[in-house]
Amino acid sequence: MRQMRLFIAVDVSAEVTARAARIIDRLREAGIEAAWVAREQMHLTLHFLGDDVDDADLHRICLAIDEAAATVPPFRLDFGGVGVFPDAARPRVAWLGVHEGAAALGRLHDALAERLTPLGFPPEARVYRPHLTLGRFRGGRRTAGAGGDRLIAALEACRDADGGSASVQRVCLYESRLAREGAEHDRLHAAPLRG
């Protein structure tokens, strides 16, 4: 048996990834340092299943995804606004927010959780907050002084950024392989939304 690093996500449109890349460029130009996500790796995560999922579980996971996808109709997402988790004082993740479609995305998240939990993949304890990850800050170190002020100013400048829209037609299972150049994601399964 092979251990796999798996997550479930929805893909976003080329429009969204292009706009997200422009936002990243603005943050870089403002001197914000992070491990920025490459356009071709951008997605909206619904569930992270773990670093050590047995490949023998793939069939059951795919069936659970199919069942969940059958309960939710296709929907539209509108992206906009930029922020950080957990906060600007100790940032770990820079994100592009979801404005329109968050409720439908939440229903898809919950439908997946309902079917994945009996398989041994419970949802995270924290509340699901849909977002497109733009970058990760190394170590979540405290940003104080000029560095913190620079981050706050850059986030404020991008606060009303229009991230574009995407039509969500399917939900996908991905394998993620960590490499020196960054993570590489391979789609293993896709289930059309049909609810």
Tell me how far apart the alpha carbons of residues 68 and 193 are, in angstroms, rounded to a whole number: 8
Task: Indicate the range of 111-115, 124-128, 130-134, 160-164 predicted with least confidence.
Answer: 124-128
Report, as residue numbers or ranges, the catalytic residues: 43, 131
Domain boundaries, the chain: 3-192
Q: What is the pTM of this model?
A: 0.91
- Name the band, by pLDDT with cuts 50, 70 and 90, for residue 138: confident
Model confidence pLDDT, tens digit, residues 158-187? 988 999 999 999 999 999 998 877 778 999
Question: What CATH number labels 3-192?
Answer: 3.90.1140.10
- Name the band, by pLDDT with cuts 50, 70 and 90, for residue 16: very high
Contact in structure between 94 and 34 (CB atoms under 8 Å): yes
